[in-house]
Amino acid sequence: PPPEAISPLPSERQLAWHELEFYAFVHFNMNTFTNMEWGFGDESPELFNPTELDCRQWARVCKEAGMKGIILTAKHHDGFCLWPSEYTEHSVRNSPWKNGEGDVVKELSEACKEYGLKMGVYLSPWDRNHADYGKPEYITYFRNQLRELLSNYGDIYEVWFDGANGGTGWYGGANEERRIDRTTYYDWENTRKIVRELQPQACMFSDAGPDIRWVGNESGWAGETNWSILKRDEFAPGVVSDVKFLQHGQIDGTHWLPAEVDVSIRPGWYYHPSEDHKVKTLPQLLDIYYNSIGRNASFLLNLPVDTRGLVNENDVQQLRKLSEAIQADFADNLAFGKDVTASNTRGNSKSYKPENVVDNDPQTYWAADDGTVVSSVTVDFKEATEFNRFLVQEYISLGQRVKEFTLEAFVDDEWKQIDSQTTIGYKRILRFPNVVATKVRLNIKDVKACPVISNIEVYKAPKVLLEPQITRSK
């Protein structure tokens, strides 16, 4: 029989989400036109006036970069709505853009469909425009808006609930907003039911999920140790007791709650002309790729669409460099179809044979007998082979199991340790200096239950040539 699953386990919608790995955030809204990050909510809708808005350009750029979806800030903290909501005057309807006839959410949903991308929405719980914010009436308003977004724009794959709220001083100082109690005010339980009812496949993001968790920083990394499980009930959106739990997950987590790395390609989330020369460099972007996707998290890369309504040329250029580098790094899987042996195979059964890790089929896996802790899988190249990347995946439908492992290479008739790490999860990618070896070995040293490995890939990534950094005086 197959290994017993160890809970907590991912839901179907979480399993589908894991496979997306790389997708875009677009911060584009009133702040774009006021050159702000957190608007006050008193901005005139007249200010929203992109000159060349083209959601198809966003979609094309994201598709070409290998991204799988786009999440749009439909409403940010200033309360301005990119769609003509029935419940407020503070929207595109009262802007000069398309004489108030436009709907950015609709245009993006059509562009995503055309380019085969998934669409997600960000709806800020904190609203500095709405007169009733802080009172029960606002919750009704918030839910009405959520219903509009989840009913009128086709399939939504992710709903993003930002915990940011100046009113409690976690991030901001004193301000004019009514103070709210983040754990109780939003009555999340009932808001989440609306998402489940209208978009059963959608994953919800927040510090506390329920489907995807914040990674605890906005600078582009997950912890090296990264469990996809968390004691979810001890967290609430915007109430961060200790970010290290979000960065690393919790080995004794009660719910499947994988991490998403949200980070902007520029210093700010919104477009600021002063940051045109501060777009992240290729080495920075590659580090983020390996420190998110390579550490069992997803990579949500923000593109601050500019005042024209386009992804700026500088951002397009850097994104193109990143996608070319990723393609080059993972061009040729040196482990594919090679001979593989294992220290032990479950019931000596063909169903769980070690070759399953190099067959390019995510549904097959190598598994060891129950009770196995220390164990290994060896890929035999049969000839001296140079490589510098090792990718490994657990079959997470049966739970996250590996607690500690090392990687070894067979060099000059000797096993040489290349790396020593903790968790694997959905995907782990190790980077190390080039090594020439005839075999590579995954040594599992500690597990929660017998190891179940679905995939191993080995690559020789080209060297990254350092770009001249454009720096400006501080």
Point out which residues bind ligand IPT (CB under 6 A). Answer: 162-164, 170-171, 207, 214, 218, 237-238, 262
Task: Please state, in angstroms and as integers, the Cα–Cα distance from residue 147 to each residue in 82, 140, 158, 193, following that order.
Answer: 15, 11, 14, 11
CB 145 within 8 Å of CB 85? yes
- Single-letter amino acid, residue 414: E
Looking at the Cβ atoms of 78 and 162, the one nearer to ligand IPT is 162
Q: What is the DSSP letter of 257?
A: -
Looking at the Cβ atoms of 171 and 432, the one nearer to ligand IPT is 171
Per the rule left: phi > 0, alpha: psi between -120 and 50, beta: everything else, 462 is: beta
> Rounded to the nearest whole angstrom, what is the least distance from the CB of residue 354 to ligand IPT in the complex?
40
Q: How far apart are CA 235 and CA 133, in angstroms?
A: 23
> Rounded to the nearest whole angstrom, what is the least distance from the CB of residue 37 to ligand IPT in the complex?
9
197 burial via Cβ count (<10 Å: 0-12, 13-18, 19+): exposed
Strands (E), 258-374: 259-264, 297-303, 339-342, 366-367
Which one, of 222, 223, 225, lies nearest residue 404 by Cα?
A: 225
> Rounded to the nearest whole angstrom, what is the least distance from the CB of residue 19 to ligand IPT in the complex?
22
Per-residue buried b or exposed e for 96-123, using 16+ beta carbons within 10 Å of the residue's own CB: ebeeeebbbbbbbbbbbeebebbbbbbb
Looking at the Cβ atoms of 48 and 205, the one nearer to ligand IPT is 205
Which one, of 52, 66, 53, lies nearest residue 299 by Cα?
A: 66
* Token couple for 434: 């080039």
404, β-bridge pairs:
446
- Single-letter amino acid, residue 393: Q
The secondary structure of the chain in percent helix, strand, coil, rounded to multiples of 5, reads 25, 25, 45
R_g of the chain, CA atoms, integer Å: 23
> Rounded to the nearest whole angstrom, what is the least distance from the CB of residue 246 to ligand IPT in the complex?
9
Looking at the Cβ atoms of 207 and 457, the one nearer to ligand IPT is 207
Three-state DSSP class for residue 68: coil
Looking at the Cβ atoms of 171 and 336, the one nearer to ligand IPT is 171
Looking at the Cβ atoms of 164 and 374, the one nearer to ligand IPT is 164
Looking at the Cβ atoms of 79 and 163, the one nearer to ligand IPT is 163
Looking at the Cβ atoms of 133 and 459, the one nearer to ligand IPT is 133
341 burial via Cβ count (<10 Å: 0-12, 13-18, 19+): middle
Three-state DSSP class for residue 239: strand
> Rounded to the nearest whole angstrom, what is the least distance from the CB of residue 128 to ligand IPT in the complex?
15
> Rounded to the nearest whole angstrom, what is the least distance from the CB of residue 111 to ligand IPT in the complex?
25
Per this entry, what is the length of the chain? 474
> Rounded to the nearest whole angstrom, what is the least distance from the CB of residue 92 to ligand IPT in the complex?
24
Which residue's C-beta sits nearest to ligand IPT? 163
> Rounded to the nearest whole angstrom, what is the least distance from the CB of residue 208 to ligand IPT in the complex?
9
Looking at the Cβ atoms of 31 and 455, the one nearer to ligand IPT is 31
Q: Is the peptide bond before 304 cis (omega within 30 degrees of 0)?
A: no
Task: Please state, in angstroms and as integers, the Cα–Cα distance from residue 256 to each residue in 121, 200, 327, 350, 467, following that order.
Answer: 22, 17, 30, 30, 40
> Rounded to the nearest whole angstrom, what is the least distance from the CB of residue 213 to ligand IPT in the complex?
10
Looking at the Cβ atoms of 3 and 209, the one nearer to ligand IPT is 209
Q: How far apart are CA 369 and CA 348, in angstroms?
A: 9
Looking at the Cβ atoms of 188 and 405, the one nearer to ligand IPT is 188
Which one, of 417, 413, 337, 411, lies nearest residue 376 by Cα?
A: 417
> Rounded to the nearest whole angstrom, what is the least distance from the CB of residue 302 to ligand IPT in the complex?
10
- How many DSSP H helices and E strands does the chain contain? 9, 17
